[in-house]
Copies of this chain bind each other. A is one copy, B any other.
């Protein structure tokens, strides 16, 4: 997983696939799927933080980091297709309109996040808490970089 080229994640090939993959889902479902992905990643970030702050369990951290990376690598760009920019009924989106107006910047932020998530998953396999702490911090910065610009809440 970590070996795959991150550049493909939001690249042309992925966008072409996005059309296919999105076609079967309704826009409100796509919003809920992307929120689920980020929420599940946040649980795993929280678990890693607990491990870094208290007793470090190598297997738990590795599993959590793998989940974050695999979700990041699952082509989440397909969940931000046209039609998902606004609230749909009871389904509220927290993505600012600017997100959809700056695809190049978003792509750069997303690629950076994926790279950092893959790096975290890689170092987590080795079980060195210091290395994991550093990689974890980088993932957190990559999350925040996008949230600061494009998350409204």
Contacts and interface: CB of A to CB of B under 8 A. Distances in A.
Contact of A70 (B13, B25, B50, B66): B66
Number of copies of this chain that the complex holds: 2
Contacts of A69: 70
Contacts of A59: 4, 8, 13
For chain A, what secondary structure do more than half of its interface residues adopt (helix, strand, loop), or is it mixed? helix
A124 to B, nearest CB: 11
Interface residues of A, number: 38
22 contacts: A17-B57, A20-B54, A20-B57, A21-B50, A24-B46, A25-B43, A25-B46, A33-B39, A33-B43, A36-B37, A36-B43, A43-B79, A47-B75, A60-B75, A63-B70, A63-B73, A63-B74, A63-B75, A64-B74, A66-B70, A69-B70, A70-B71
